[in-house]
Every structure is written in C-alpha cells, then in structure tokens.
Structure 1
Amino acid sequence: MGIDTMPSVADDSAAERRREQRGWYFYDWACAVYSTSVLTVFLGPYLTAVAKSAADAHGYVHPLGIPVRAGSFFAYCVSASVILAIVLMPLVGAAADRGGRKKGLLALCAYVGAAATAGMFFLDGNRYLLGGLLLIVANAAMAVSMVVYNSYLPQIALPEERDAVSSRGWAFGYGAGSMMLIADLILYTQHGSFGLSEATAVRICLAAAGVWWGAFTVIPLRRLRDRRTAHTATGPAVHGWRQLVATFRDMRGTPLTLSFLAAYLIYNDGIQTVISQASVYGSDELGLSQSTLIVAVLLVQVLAVGGALGMGRLARRYGAKRTILGSLVAWTATLGAGYFLPAGAPVWFFVLAACIGMVLGGSQALSRSLFSHLVPAGKEAEYFSAYELSDRGMSWLGPLLFGLAYQLTGSYRDSIISLVVFFAIGFVLLARVPVRQAVLDAGNPLPERI
C-alpha cells in the first residue's frame, strides 16, 4: 500500500479508525510477552545464575576485562541496552517522520528484537556474554520499535478517543503476557514430565517469547497505514544525538511539553526499574522460587488488564493528569511496603504484586495518551522518539543505581527503597504542568477532560 497524502484522523470514517486501532493493539499483544516472560520473569534470575557459574572465586565476572559482581551483570546489561537505544531512537524517529513510511521501520525493529529473543535458546552453560549481548540487542530493538508504534496513536484516534485506545492497547499487552505466562508456568513446573531439564525449560520459554513477538507483528503491519504529513521531508535525516538536540530545540516552542517529559522521565525510570529488577529482588533477596515469581507476575498481568481499563474510565471522569498523579501515590506506598517484605513469604509478595498490577498498566497507558495531546501534528515520530527516550531510553539510571547498590552492599533491599524518590519527584514535577495550556500550545484541539 502506498503512502496516503496528508490525511487527517478526522477524515477517516469510524470503521477505518477502528480497523487501524485493532491492528495497532496487536503490537502491544506481540511485544508485551518480551517484557513479561523475558525481562520481568526469566532472564534476570537465569542470566544471573549463568554469570555466577562463570564467576571467579570472589564472585566476579570480567566482561572486557572489567571486574563485575555476577549479581550486578544483568542490571548493567539493561543499562547498556538503554544507552544503545538512546543513540538509535532519534535517528529512527526522524526517519519515520521524514519518509512517512513507518511500517518498514516498525518491522525492522520488531524482527531484530524477536530474533535476538529467540536466540536466547542458546544461552546455556557459562555463556553469560552471549546472554548479555542478546539482552542488549533485544531490549534496544524493543525500545526503538515503540518509538514508531506510539507515534501512530495521534494518527489513528481522535483526541477524545486516545485515553481509551491507549488503555486498550496496554490491556491487550497484559492479556498476551498472561496467556504466555500460563504456558510458561505449565512448562516450567512440569518440565520433568516433558523430559526437559529446568534450564532447558527456561530457554524454551525465552525463545517462545521471540517467536510470539515475530508472529503477531504481522497483524499491525497489515492493518496500519503509512501517511505523508505536512512535515514529511525528502532530505537525509539528521543522525543520532544531533537529531535529538534538534528535537529538543524544537520543543522550546512548546515548553510545557518539555516539562511533561521531564516529569515522565523521572517517575517512569522508577516504573521501568521495578519491571526489570523485581524478579531478581524476589529470587535473590526474598528467596522465592521461580514458580512463585511466575505466579506473581501472572497476577500482575491479569490485574493490569483491569487496572488499565479502570484507570482509563477514571481518566474520562477526572482527567488523565489527576489519575496519573493518584497512581504515583500508590506506587510510592507500594514500594515503601516492598522494603519490609519478609523473606520466604510468597503471600506478601503476591499482595505487593497485586498492588503493582492495579496501577502499572494505567499509569503507562495514560502517560502515553496524555503526551499524544502535546505533540504538534506531523511530528509524531520525532516527538515520540523523545518520549520513548524518557520511557525506556533514560531508564538506565534506576537499574544502574540498583546494580551499584548491590555491588557496594551485597543486598537488594536498600536498592528497592531508593526507587521511591523517582515517584516522589515525578509527582511534584507533573503536578506543576498545566496540561490544558500545553495542549493549546501544541496547536491541538482541547479534549473535554485532560
């Protein structure tokens, strides 16, 4: 299909919008299993175990000759993947806006990430360096693909539809994550019945997420349309950091958009760190089994579906900003409680997981839809590259701090409580953003509730 010439979402019929929206939801469905099965559940404890098997007598591995405590290797790899994504995201965002052909870029990023994830099947023995490399590639590809994916939202949904559409996308993702985790739980707990070792079952679960990611990406690629906008250009894209600097300079014309990004950068760093490090905290600090962690994350996924949809309804009544602020209060209280969780007590870990599930999907979905109102028309991918930089690209500080705390103290408990500061500062910064004025400054129609 060719590129449509400067169509507006208001020009599309309701049926056309619904068709694209349903296709759009399926990329959340496709890639969410990576976040749940790989990043949140299996890879952290498994890669840590592989690194420990390769460690010296003092518990250190030496990638590139650098002494790294084996228990910190996973967190450092997450940070490295984010740094790689920082380099790539501005380039991809600019290319998507300039060329008007987003689907090809979405496909490239998705299938690179899916292939790296499927390759984790070969992570065995003491191949911690292979695991770290695959993690860095997959995590960076995931982040970059989300730049393109999120930039479709203003083009497929009217302003008053975006909270609901974004929330449904997150709900689709958590639904897919739940289904995959159920299959993972069966395979992992019954691995002996299938004639598999525990490690082989984990490697199959990791690879299956990559296969799922690649297979379901076909649906959004078939349903989403490429669009040429008034800002589409034919010249070469500015590369890397130069493009990012140019984007933020452009944002000086909409300083309130920049203020929202600053707030989101802070509180989302805390969210992303919880997602990536929770399983390590549960297994190494609390002494919980892998099956307990799978059940806990499954509980998060199931409740996050209802949480995302429920917070979407709250946003229609109270506005997205107030609802997000309420979720940040809940995050702060939940992590504070997490510090005091007793070791070897799965029931309390399940309670904590339930609290996280109720706010996780909604806080992410509403942040995405709120930002979509603050983007000038025709600059969606460019601005969403900056958003994704805040979403995943700048989420290196939390994991790095988490890893450093363990490196220095040998305990994850102090690390978890340090994340509270991200939510507290993010709350203060977001509360100070006048979002209604920010929407008007971006030249967009003002929804009834924001």
Structure 2
Amino acid sequence: MLQKGDKKLTHSWAFYDWANSVYSLVISTAVFPIYYETITHTETGLVYFFGMQFNNTTLYTYALSFSFLIVALISPILSGIADYVGNKKSYMQFFCYFGSISVMCLYFFDSIDTLWIGILFSVFASIGFWGSLVFYNAYLPEVAYSDQQDHVSALGFIYGYIGSVILLVFNLSMVMKPEWYGISEPGMAPRISFLTVGVWWMGFAQVTFNRLPDHIQPRKPKTDYFFKGYQELKKVVEELKDQPVLLNFLTSFFLYSVGVQSIILLATIYGKSEIGLSTSSLILTIIVIQLVGIAGAYLFSNLSRKIGNITTLKITIVIWTLASLSAYFLEKDDPNVQIKFYVISGFIGLVLGAIQTLSRSTYSKLLPEDTSDPTTYFSFFDVTEKVAIVWGTFIFGLAVAITESMRLSILLLCVFFVASFVVLSFMKKTKYVG
C-alpha cells in the first residue's frame, strides 16, 4: 500500500478530477442544457411532467433546484460519515457509479415523450457527482501532508480542466461533424456524448480507486456519526454570532453565488432560447470561457495581493453585474448578437475562476485563528453555496414561468450581485483581507 505523501498516491487522488470534471463541464454547463432545450422546445413552450404542465425551462431549473436541495441536505450527513468511519472509499465509489450510470442513462432521453428520463437521471447524476466529492475531498489530508495539500489540490484542478476540455472538444467535433463518426440520426451525437461522459468518469476513476487506501483508521469511535455533520454545522452557526466580519462575508458570498452559479448552469439555455445561437457556437463559447478563466484566475490572484481580497472581489462582482445587464439587452434579431455574446462570455470567463478561487481563499483567511476544526467551517461554506444555487435556480425558473421569458430572470440575478456588493462594502477591513 502506498504511504501518505507518496507522489503516486497524491497524483492518483488528484486524477479523480480528470475523471469527474467532464460531468460538470459537458453535462451541467455545455451539451446537456442545450440538448434539453432543443428536445423540449414546443410552440407554446409548455411540457408535461408526471401529469403537470410546466414551461420547459422552468421545469429544468426546478429540477436543478431539487437536486441541489438534496445535496445540501445530505452533505452534512456524508461529511459526518467521511470524518468518522474508515470505509469512505466504498461510499465514494457508490456515488461515483451512481452518478456515472445516471449520466449514461441520459442516452435514452431521445424525445419529449421520454422527458422523465432526462429530468430524473439529470437529478440522480447531480447527486452522484456532489456526493462523491464529499468523500474525495475528505481523502486529501489522508493522502497528502499539510505542506503538500495546496499543490495536490491545484494538481487536481489542472487534471480536471485538461480532461474535461479534451472530452468537450471531442464531443463538439461529433456535434458539428457527425458524419465523421458515421452518425446520421439527428440528435444522436449529443446522446453519444452523454455515454462518453459516463464511461470516462467511471473508467478513469479506477486509477484513483486502485491506489486510494481501502480502510483508514476512524478518527473517532463509530457512534452517533450519522447526524454529526448537522451538529457541527449548528455549532458554526452559533459561533458566527461572535464573528461579524466572517458573517458579513458569508452573507455577501451567498448573494453573489445565487447569481454566479445560476449563470454557470443556465447560460447556454439562455443563449439557445433567447438569442437563438447554434449548439456548436454555444459549446465553442464554453471552451473559450474555460481558457479565459485560467488567465482570469491568475490575473485576479495577482491583483488581490496588491489591493486586497475584498477590493478585488468587488471588482469581479461589478464585472459580473455589467455582463449580466449586457446579456439582458441582447436581441435575437441583432446582426451582431453572436459577436456580442462572445464578448460578454469572455468577460464572464475572466471573472469565473477568479471569483471562485478568491471566495475560498478569503473565507479561509477570515476563519478564527483558534478554530480546532476548519473542515467543519468549509463544510458550512459548501452548504451555503449549494443553498444559494437552490435559490438562484428556483427564482430563475419562477420568473420564467410568470413572464414566459428569461430576461426578467437575468435582471433578478443582477439584483443579487448589487446586493452582494453593498453588503461587502460594509465589511470591516482586516489585516488579512483588507
């Protein structure tokens, strides 16, 4: 068995990002939302799901809300299990296989008559993805020493980025040139891409599973660990009352996460439905966003060292707000709408990675120095983000249901960005994040 700190072990752990990141890019962001919008498009915009009538976009956003609500509810339980039992690899494998098989089942979502397959298995895939990450993250301190963890975590990000972009480019080639692969049936290329994601995720995960230790000595006796995560989160809530600066930041983080995460999940649907962009153009846009995102994260990381985390975060929020407002004013019949959409996407890419990395690093710097359990604080941070996604996607879908347009939804997300900026402006400066 490989020992803690061994390069083979840390690289194998990080390689799970290569395996699973294809889900978040291809399924959550790029191909599946566009495919869903194409398959469920009707003259009235209405679809039936289990006997109930919904706007097609509203149904999708409600499904997202539901999946992240489940994730938010079970994450504390899974965190408790990961912390206090020794067979976390078995749990990680279960959620990995549950998610990857669910993704492959999306292949059978081939028409509006099989809408239930698309909705049900997209929810299952989301639960599998996020559930496996709880145990994946919990393994980090057990495979790498504290002075290695930043490097190993960054290595996972690099693996995930490269792997997901490679598969997305392959899927884009299938969508744009299906004849290269002998595909003649309309809509078959995206469905095959769902299969490739599931096979990639499950297949490459074996590199990680083959080298991760099977049984880690439990941190504490296996008693009362099932609800331990909830108990620890409750403790954080109580401690936040005496930490106004951290509470202020978390409030702002929640507000801008409502906007950021909703845009990440729903931007392609907006581009397809409201602006009328082609599938290939939208997927190409996602690839550009990924490329610009790396440069943006590096740029704003350097900027934060010069002017402070909070000021830098406020700049990113302003850019998010302006980009969202610009998207609101895009018109389908504008001859330059595609170029304008690319420019807006470029600005979003610039601040996409930046706001995510800055959020986590700022939160880490604001944690009380005497805390004995930073893992619990980060669990609270993750749950806060998931709840923000629930709110954002639900509000987006509700606005679409009421107005039969996504434009008001975009405007509402701008309100959350503005509110987060205001809250952040009242935050007291500290020596760490001034």
Q: TM-score, normalised by structure 2?
A: 0.85
How many Å apart are 1:422 and its aligned residue? 2.1
1:272 aligns with 2:267: no
1:176 aligns with 2:163: yes
Q: CA-atom RMSD, angstroms? A: 3.2
How many Å apart are 1:170 and its aligned residue? 3.7
Written as runs of structure 1 = structure 2, the 5 A alignment for 1:4-153 is 16=5, 22-52=11-41, 59-99=45-85, 101-125=87-111, 126-151=113-138
**1:195 aligned to which of 182, 189, 193:** 182
Q: Following the alignment from structure 1 to structure 2, what is the Cα–Cα distance between the partners of residues 228 and 378?
A: 18
1:302-350 deviations in whole A, cap 9, x for unaligned? 1122223333444455554443333222211211222122326211111
Written as runs of structure 1 = structure 2, the 5 A alignment for 1:254-403 is 254-255=240-241, 256=243, 257-343=246-332, 345-372=337-364, 374=367, 376-378=371-373, 380=375, 382-403=376-397
Q: TM-score, normalised by structure 1?
A: 0.82
- Specify the SS of the correspondent of 2:179: coil
1:88-119 deviations in whole A, cap 9, x for unaligned? 11110111112255433333222211111122
How many Å apart are 1:86 and its aligned residue? 2.2
How many Å apart are 1:283 and its aligned residue? 0.6
Q: Following the alignment from structure 2 to structure 1, what is the Cα–Cα distance between the partners of residues 423 and 145?
A: 28
1:243-293 deviations in whole A, cap 9, x for unaligned? 436513344235545554333222112111001111110011001010110
| Residue of structure 1 in register with 2:402 after alignment | 408
How many Å apart are 1:173 and its aligned residue? 2.9
Q: 2:250 corresponds to which letter in structure 1?
A: L
Q: Are the equivalent residues in 1 in contact too, given 2:49–2:115 (CA < 8 A)?
A: no
1:345-394 deviations in whole A, cap 9, x for unaligned? 211111111111111112212323444453844562x4443222222343
| Residue of structure 1 in register with 2:415 after alignment | 421
- Specify the SS of the correspondent of 1:252: helix
1:153-200 deviations in whole A, cap 9, x for unaligned? 6774758974x7655544443333322221111111111342322311
| Residue of structure 2 in register with 1:442 after alignment | none
- Specify the SS of the correspondent of 1:75: helix
- Specify the SS of the correspondent of 2:398: helix
Identity %: 29
Higher mean displacement: 115-124 or 210-219: 210-219
Q: 2:32 corresponds to which letter in structure 1?
A: L
Q: Following the alignment from structure 1 to structure 2, what is the Cα–Cα distance between the partners of residues 428 and 20?
A: 45
Q: Following the alignment from structure 1 to structure 2, what is the Cα–Cα distance between the partners of residues 286 and 141?
A: 32
Q: Following the alignment from structure 2 to structure 1, what is the Cα–Cα distance between the partners of residues 429 and 217?
A: 28
Higher mean displacement: 408-417 or 245-254: 245-254
Higher mean displacement: 136-145 or 213-222: 213-222
Q: Following the alignment from structure 1 to structure 2, what is the Cα–Cα distance between the partners of residues 149 and 325?
A: 31
Query: How many positions carry a matched residue from both structures?
Result: 421
